[in-house]
Structure 1
Amino acid sequence: MDDKHMLMIPGPTPVPEKVLLALSKHPIGHRSGEFSQIMAEVTQNLKWLHQTQNDVLVLTVSGTGAMEAGIINFLSPGDRVLVGSNGKFGDRWAAMSAAFGLEVETITADWGKPLDTEQFREKLAADTEKNIKAVIITHSETSTGVLNDLETINRHVKEHGEALMIVDAVTSLGAVNLPVDEWGIDVVASGSQKGYMIPPGLGFVSVSPKAWEAYKTAKLPRFYLDLGKYSKTAAKNSNPFTPPVNLVVALQAALRMMQAEGLESIFARHQRLMRATREAVQALSLPLFGPDEAASPAITAVAPVSVESEQIRAVMKKRFDISLAGGQDDYKGKIFRIGHLGFVSDRDILAAIGALEATLRELGYESMTPGAGIAAAARVFAQS
């Protein structure tokens, strides 16, 4: 049957009908008064979502572009940075920092394990000359389904006093509590195709006053991603370059939906979906890739033993038109990932788990009790 495709990947995520309808409107001029009014509302609601009074700037980029902007605007060649790396995206930020001539020191953990906050404390405490200019971490490591302890790492950064805290929140913003002002986080980058519930194409960067002070002396080259330009035009409800007008209109609709649901309800929903998915997977005797205490509300990574991950994904797509994500880099073919980020409901999880059970039966998997996954997920939903 056509048009029944179900996205259960960490991004792009499902898009609500209200947002699709907003996206389909005829474009308007990006220098018009009408568009300025939309930008004013969007900017205010972005600050609400970020729990900040600081600038939240809208760029026509992916999440990677937002992170690049978050790095190059506040640092200079040769600056020493600590980069947390326990997955594909931590590795990416280390490579990106090195590409811009920064002195990169990585703090690593095995894929599937959270970063050790004590290692950050030790490195920062030992830096008595304050040479470390930034700490860069991924909050929700999408490649493994691990949520790093940003609050603790950020506290160690604040005790250091000099370093900026630069955060990839691409799959955590809009899924887990991230109080930017309360924690005093300096730079937070995110992307539209995740918790924002709109298609890819927009990136967002929140910037603290401390980061703006660093901007004044930063010497890395920038032009299109010069956040100073975006800040000046944002104050006038505009943009320094041509934005994707229809995506901004879609963002307006999505943020209205998020406000109607409320932050606490959004966070609780993602926790509920995560718990239901993890308990269902365990009830099917499938090993989880990461520990419960560091589980991401965005995705659940599964490491099957007696049945191949890529076979599971192929049957899910062919028979049920449900897309699951595969493993990346060294874990390609070893894990699969179930996304539960953004416009996802209890019903979606039940459908995905039911399809997963049927897929496992088709593949001859005998280590489960039929219906156990659905029952486990249903218990979580009944308790919530």
Structure 2
Amino acid sequence: MLTDQQLLRIPGPTPIPPSVQRAMSQPMIGHRAPETKDLLQRIKPKLKPIFGTAQDVVVMTGSGTAGLETAVVNAVKPDDEVLVIVTGSFGERFVNICEAYQINTHRYDSEWGKTVTPESVKEYLNKYPKVTAVFATFCETSTGVLNPIAELAEVVHNNSEALFIVDGVSCVGGVETKMDEWGIDLLVTGSQKAMMLPGGLTFVAASERAWNVIEENEHPRFYFDFKKYRNQLANNSTPFTPAGSLLFGLEQVLQLVEEEGLEQVFTRHTQMMQMTRAAFKALDIPLLTNDQAASPTVTAIKPFDFQVKDLRNVLYKEFGMVVAGGQQHMKDEIFRIGHMGYCSPADVLQTISVIELGLHKIGKQVELGKGTQAAQEIYLGY
């Protein structure tokens, strides 16, 4: 392998387009300068279609977790009851944030690798009628599950007065998202996944219903005070120093999305998912999720006759390819392939071909090219 070559195929951070890297290398400008106001003014309207909302999308300097914490501290009071739907490691993160703020937190745990069903959520809402917010994860990064957010939102609103708050960090920008139409009250994503940027920005949008709750919430907050960000965004500014280089990059990302077309972006992600899944099915290597639960942005594979760490090691040492392992109790049981953002069907074909070689290297008997051919056939069928 080339010593400075890395093939990054994890579910975030993801590769960055060269034009975005060039945009981020521009000379720094003052964060209160007219140039920054103009930049934010250009960015604002282009974020709305990605979220599927008429509301302004707030851009904050911080990781995706900062956005999740912002949602919690602005929409929930310490004496409130909330329900957190946990389908994996990142559903667990919402629990940890809520408990850190001493919020009365009820959790609904679903088996890792499976979606949550609206019927089961309805049962929990009937069990806990006082909840003021329900938290869910759109794409559970740790398992590659895409939860049925539209259906979950409908159940929440038909059976409670609770806000519906969604972590979309590992899929917004790569899958169709209709915040307003579906009834999502707070939606969060981050910069380092389908948004094709380094980590360091989080994006949060709130419905009018959520804003009514936020306005009345007297829970103390400072940096994460969402009202400050909304008020400053109205003036094309930020309450605190923004990550200027990332804003330059964000504008270029939005330009690339506009040029490709948002629907084509979604189609490309679905195509890459189907190519990846077809490849492992052809190689007789089990997938963690079924087709209905699968995310277009990340695929989890659960082998039974070879060690995940052995494959990951040989992929990295011989080819410079990085795929992700599992998390928590699935650390050594699964590996995960990210196919989002700056990723194309050609990248998927390369990934599958290299993995076939890696499997051969660790002694797993596979027919070389069989998975690649299956992925190629999916491509040709589009």
| TM-score bracket for this pair, using the shorter chain length | over 0.9
Q: What is the number of equivalent residue pairs in this alignment?
A: 381
Partner of 1:109: 110
Partner of 2:23: 22
Residue 329 in structure 1 maps to residue 314 in structure 2? no
Instruction: State the 1:125 CA deviation.
Output: 4.4
Residue 378 in structure 1 maps to residue 376 in structure 2? yes
Which string of whole-angstrom CA distances, capped at 9 and with x for unpartnered residues, describes residues 5-47 of structure 1?
1110010001000100001111111111111111011111111
Instruction: State the 1:272 CA deviation.
Output: 0.3
Instruction: State the 1:284 CA deviation.
Output: 1.2
Q: TM-score, normalization: structure 2? A: 0.98
After TM superposition, the structure 1 stretch with the greater mean CA deviation from structure 2, 134-143 or 99-108, is 99-108
Contact 1:135/1:166, CA 8 A, preserved across alignment: yes
Instruction: State the 1:161 CA deviation.
Output: 4.8
Residue 43 in structure 1 maps to residue 44 in structure 2? yes
Partner of 1:269: 268
Contact 1:85/1:91, CA 8 A, preserved across alignment: yes
After TM superposition, what 4+ stretches of structure 1 lie above 3 angstroms from structure 2? none
Contact 1:77/1:219, CA 8 A, preserved across alignment: no
Q: TM-score, normalization: structure 1? A: 0.97
Name the SS for the 1:106 alignment partner: strand
* Partners of 2:27 and 2:283 in 1: CA distance: 48
* Partners of 2:281 and 2:340 in 1: CA distance: 20
Report the AA paired with residue 213 of structure 2. Answer: A
Instruction: State the 1:383 CA deviation.
Output: 0.3
Residue 227 in structure 1 maps to residue 192 in structure 2? no
Report the AA paired with residue 200 of structure 1. Answer: G
Instruction: State the 1:114 CA deviation.
Output: 1.1
Partner of 2:319: 320
Partner of 1:56: 57
* Partners of 1:138 and 1:221 in 2: CA distance: 25
Report the AA paired with residue 194 of structure 1. Answer: K
- The correspondence of residues 29-178 of structure 1 with structure 2, limited to 5 A, is 29-125=30-126, 131-178=130-177
* Partners of 2:63 and 2:34 in 1: CA distance: 27
* Partners of 1:150 and 1:140 in 2: CA distance: 9
Partner of 1:237: 236
* Partners of 2:151 and 2:126 in 1: CA distance: 14
Which string of whole-angstrom CA distances, capped at 9 and with x for unpartnered residues, describes residues 323-378 of structure 1?
10011111111111011011100110000000000001111111x22211000000
Name the SS for the 1:28 alignment partner: coil
- The correspondence of residues 353-372 of structure 1 with structure 2, limited to 5 A, is 353-366=352-365, 368-372=366-370
Partner of 1:284: 283
* Partners of 2:334 and 2:220 in 1: CA distance: 39
Instruction: State the 1:307 CA deviation.
Output: 1.1
Contact 1:124/1:156, CA 8 A, preserved across alignment: no
Unaligned runs of 5+ in 2: none
* Partners of 1:180 and 1:121 in 2: CA distance: 21
Contact 2:47/2:57, CA 8 A, preserved across alignment: yes
* Partners of 2:25 and 2:281 in 1: CA distance: 41
Name the SS for the 1:313 alignment partner: helix
Name the SS for the 2:204 alignment partner: strand
Instruction: State the 1:160 CA deviation.
Output: 2.9
* Partners of 1:329 and 1:289 in 2: CA distance: 15
Contact 2:150/2:183, CA 8 A, preserved across alignment: no
* Partners of 1:315 and 1:306 in 2: CA distance: 16
Partner of 1:190: 189
* Partners of 1:139 and 1:198 in 2: CA distance: 20
Name the SS for the 1:216 alignment partner: helix
Partner of 1:309: 308
Contact 1:100/1:220, CA 8 A, preserved across alignment: no
Contact 1:115/1:148, CA 8 A, preserved across alignment: yes
Contact 1:303/1:335, CA 8 A, preserved across alignment: yes
* Partners of 2:356 and 2:219 in 1: CA distance: 51
Summarize the Cα distance change of 1:330–1:126 in structure 2 as closer, same or farther, 3 Å threshold: closer
* Partners of 1:377 and 1:10 in 2: CA distance: 19
Report the AA paired with residue 367 of structure 2. Answer: T
* Partners of 2:4 and 2:247 in 1: CA distance: 25
Which string of whole-angstrom CA distances, capped at 9 and with x for unpartnered residues, describes residues 239-262 of structure 1?
000011010010000011011111
* Partners of 2:160 and 2:126 in 1: CA distance: 10
* Partners of 1:383 and 1:184 in 2: CA distance: 34
* Partners of 1:201 and 1:95 in 2: CA distance: 21
Name the SS for the 1:123 alignment partner: helix
Report the AA paired with residue 282 of structure 2. Answer: A
Instruction: State the 1:275 CA deviation.
Output: 0.5
Name the SS for the 1:73 alignment partner: helix
* Partners of 2:53 and 2:74 in 1: CA distance: 20
Report the AA paired with residue 342 of structure 2. Answer: F
Instruction: State the 1:122 CA deviation.
Output: 2.2
Report the AA paired with residue 267 of structure 1. Answer: F
* Partners of 1:248 and 1:324 in 2: CA distance: 28
